[in-house]
Amino acid sequence: MIDICMLGTYGMMPLPGRWLSCALVRCGATLTLFDCGEGTQVPWKSLGWGFRQLGAICLTHMHADHVAGLPGVLFMVAHAGRTEPLTIYGPPGTTYVIEGLRRIAADLPFPIEIREMEGGEQFALPGELQGSCVRASHGVPCLAYRVELARRPAFQVERAQALGLPVQLWSHLQRGETLEHNGRSITPDQVLGPPRRGISLAFITDTRPTSTLTTFANDVDLLICESMYDNPDDLPLAKANAHMVVTETARIAQEARAHELILTHFSPKINDPAVAEKAARRIFANTRAARDGMVITLDYT
């Protein structure tokens, strides 16, 4: 099971009652943060999930509304008592920006490991999550992220019983371990069923639509995607600033065959995200406009 909290859902600048776009992913007792705009620690504190279990931060790009909140978040994680390493992922240029921001958060009780990526990489995230990324189209190095949680095949009790295996040994095979019993080698495939579909989500923001992004988001359970503009008349503005209008966002979800679309990263021009939601639903019915603090839970189906 994965819980996702949309800590903030707006772009460019924090405004009264409107936090900048970022998402906090919880799997088990572990946390991964996607983007970290100014003030991120404030709605996070209100959420009550705690800070100590943050193990990774995935940054889409180095614009201030996506990274300026890092010193505050790092301070809160330190204050919570974390001593284990924390990994920050991001596009080229991440190290330079983090080193600058660390000048006001220099003394931390945990090491920070920075991994810069070009797009196309796969990497491990906390809580047995698997991450991957591709390039987005924003005029500066920018990444879109995908997160997957694998599901183990079902354990076939009747097959284990037919092999005469004691119950105490079943968990080893469930974990994919081969074992010896009564002089025989027992492999997991002898007692496990066929592969099962896991859980997946994609986080895409600050980009023009591309075929790469559509392919990347194929068949995700949840697509979290920017909707900077809700008015089709703003398409020239979206093109000039390398963002999307909501109809473009909805088409990505439709063509990717996503299961659900969450709209986020709204322009200060958008006073009521429900307008964007209504427009997107004409193209992709299973759409919701995110609101600050919204929690979405993904479970195996």
Report the CATH number at residue 111.
3.60.15.10
What is the mean pLDDT of the segment spanning 283-297? 97
Q: Which domain holds residue 45?
A: 2-152+197-298
- Is 222 found in the same domain as 246? yes
Structure confidence at residue 174 (pLDDT): 81
> Is 181 known to sit in a ligand binding site?
no
- Is 279 found in the same domain as 207? yes
> Is 66 known to sit in a ligand binding site?
yes
The beta-carbon contacts of 44-50 under 8 Å, at least 24 apart in sequence, are 44/7, 44/73, 44/76, 45/76, 46/293, 47/5, 47/7, 47/293, 49/5, 49/24, 50/80
> Is 243 known to sit in a ligand binding site?
no
Q: Average pLDDT, whole number, for the chain?
A: 93
- Is 241 found in the same domain as 102? yes
User: Which has more pLDDT, 34 or 192?
Assistant: 34
Structure confidence at residue 130 (pLDDT): 97
- Is 92 found in the same domain as 239? yes
Structure confidence at residue 194 (pLDDT): 84
Residues marked as catalytic? 65
Which candidate, 150, 160, 156, 163, places its Cα nearest to that of 192? 156
> Is 61 known to sit in a ligand binding site?
yes
User: Which has more pLDDT, 31 or 107?
Assistant: 31
Q: Is the pLDDT of residue 158 over 90?
A: no
Percent of the chain with pLDDT over 90: 77
Q: How many domains does the chain contain in total?
A: 2
- Whole-prediction pTM: 0.90
- Is 167 found in the same domain as 110? no
- Is 85 found in the same domain as 102? yes
- Is 206 found in the same domain as 134? yes
What is the mean pLDDT of the segment spanning 269-279? 92
Residue where one domain finishes, among candidates 168, 190, 212: 190
Q: Is the pLDDT of residue 246 over 80?
A: yes
164 band by pLDDT with thresholds 50, 70 and 90: confident
Residue where one domain finishes, among candidates 166, 190, 214: 190
Structure confidence at residue 180 (pLDDT): 85
- Is 282 found in the same domain as 250? yes
- Is 87 found in the same domain as 115? yes
Structure confidence at residue 278 (pLDDT): 96
59 band by pLDDT with thresholds 50, 70 and 90: very high
- Is 166 found in the same domain as 136? no
Considering Cα of 239, then 244, then 250, then 252, what sign does the dihedral take? positive
Q: What is the DSSP string of the chain?
A: -EEEEEEE-B-SS-BTTBPBSEEEEEETTEEEEE---TTTHHHHHHHT--STTEEEEE-S---HHHHTTHHHHHHHHHHTT--S-EEEEESTTHHHHHHHHGGGS---SS-EEEEE--SS-EEEETTTEEEEEEE--SSS--EEEEEEEEEPPPB-HHHHHHTT--GGGHHHHHTT--EEETTEEE-GGGTB-S-EEEEEEEEE-S----HHHHHHTTT-SEEEEE--B--GGGHHHHHHHT--BHHHHHHHHHHHT-S-EEEE-B-TT-S-HHHHHHHHHTT-SSEEE--TTEEEEE---
- Is 202 found in the same domain as 167? no
Can you read off the two tokens belonging to residue 113?
Answer: 């490991």
Angle subtended by helix axes 246-256 and 273-281, to nearest 10: 40
Residue where one domain finishes, among candidates 140, 166, 190: 190
Structure confidence at residue 263 (pLDDT): 98
> Is 234 known to sit in a ligand binding site?
no
Contacts of 67 (CB under 8 A, 6+ apart): 35, 36, 37, 59, 97, 101
Q: Is the pLDDT of residue 288 over 90?
A: yes
Which candidate, 282, 286, 284, 283, places its Cα nearest to that of 296? 286
- Is 225 found in the same domain as 97? yes
pLDDT in tens, 97-109: 999 999 998 899 9
What is the mean pLDDT of the segment spanning 127-150? 96
> Is 63 known to sit in a ligand binding site?
yes
Query: What does the radius of gyration of the chain's CA atoms come to, in whole angstroms?
Result: 21
